[in-house]
Amino acid sequence: MVTDAATGATNAPTVGFLGLGIMGTAMCRNLLKCGAFSKVIVWNRTASKCDELVAEGAVAASSPAEVVQQADITFGMLADPEAALKAALGPAGVAEGVSAGKAYVDMSTVDEATSQQIAAAVAAKGGRFLEAPVSGSKKPAIDGQLIILAAGDEALFKECEAAFSAMGKRSLFLGAVGAGARMKLVVNMVMGSMMGAFCEGMALADRAGLAQSDLLDVLGLGAMANPMFALKGPALQQRQYPPAFPLKHQQKDMRLALALGDALDQPLPVAAAANEAYKQAKSKGYADADFAAVYEATQISNLSLN
């Protein structure tokens, strides 16, 4: 809530949202639906992507700077470090619009250096900054069941309680700027490596004359049972990959996690091997498909194996 300095009245805050892709649209819609904000102002690089949320009550702005100038707290959900930096530091970006009393919460998945660069630019203008990448893909975003991994300004974290409750099932404060970015990369590295191993298992079962549905049943009954295998298994069987989390973004996260490992002299041989499979799937044309399309990296030609 925002307190009017002149009257002492408490008013619902105005929030902004930058980036209306698969995740951002669902997250912003939950901010609109929760009713805790007086206004939700949106921006996207392709302006037409704002239309459906404007029809639901949002207000479109022409630039990130304009959003930040009008909103008390602005959230960003950009595709990658390059997009996050451009929205924050580029022409008419966040840094141009931010001022004392304004806050920016970057929920993009970026490396620590990118997050710290954005934080410094916001602080230089008197604004406040929180990084808050999320664990979860399209369905959890739609359902408001994301896990939010925040770091930076702890007071701002507390002020975001209503927004985070609308977008997620749990929000964690992890410390200084950079901790959230590191945690997200570790989480996505584990997820990507698991998916790579799962795809290899499904491919091996098929090649060995076993029913993939039987493998899914066995995995679902034991200690390896998890929602990701249950959800993605049918997609692998059908070789259909509607994007919930695009493969190109998973591969980007694997790359960033490996770079973090390099910086810390931490061996990551399993993740490195998985990353090569994602790169191979990208080269086959699956960059924009769901990350489960890494299964295609396991497929050999249909030539006879005699």
| Backbone phi and psi for residue 220, each to the nearest 5 degrees, phi listed first | -70, -15
Tens-place pLDDT, residues 106-165: 999 999 999 999 999 999 999 999 999 999 989 999 999 999 999 999 999 999 999 999
Which residue in 102, 138, 184, 248 is the catalytic one?
Answer: 184
Please, which contacts does 197-200 make with residues 24 or more away whose CB atoms are closer than 8 Å?
197/274, 198/228, 198/229, 198/232, 198/236, 199/236, 199/277, 199/292, 199/294, 199/295, 199/297, 199/298, 200/298
Q: Where are the domains of the chain?
A: 2-177, 183-298
Residue 305 has pLDDT above 60, yes or no: no
pLDDT, residue 300, reads 81
Per the annotation, the verdict on 184 as an active-site residue is yes
pTM of the model: 0.89
CA 21 to chain centre: 10
| Residue 110 and residue 99 in contact, taking contact as beta carbons nearer than 8 Å | no
| Helix, coil or strand: residue 59 | strand
pLDDT tens per residue across span 59-75? 999 999 999 999 999 99
**Stretch 189-203: mean pLDDT:** 98
What's the mean per-residue pLDDT of the chain? 94
Is pLDDT of 235 > 80?
A: yes
- Please compute the mean of the pLDDT values over residues 233-257 and round it to a whole number: 96
Nearest to 150 by CA among 100, 123, 115: 115
The pLDDT of residue 5 is 43
CATH architecture of the domain covering 183-298: Orthogonal Bundle (1.10)
Query: Is the domain defined by 2-177 classed in CATH 3.40.50.720?
Result: yes
Strand-pairing partners, residue 42, are 17, 60
Instruction: Check if the beta carbon of residue 66 is closer than 8 Å to that of residue 92.
Output: yes
Whether the per-residue pLDDT at 2 is higher than 80: the answer is no
The span from the CA of 109 to the CA of 116, in Å, is 13
Average pLDDT of the segment spanning 270-299: 98
- Residue 43's DSSP bridge partners are 18
pLDDT of residue 301: 61
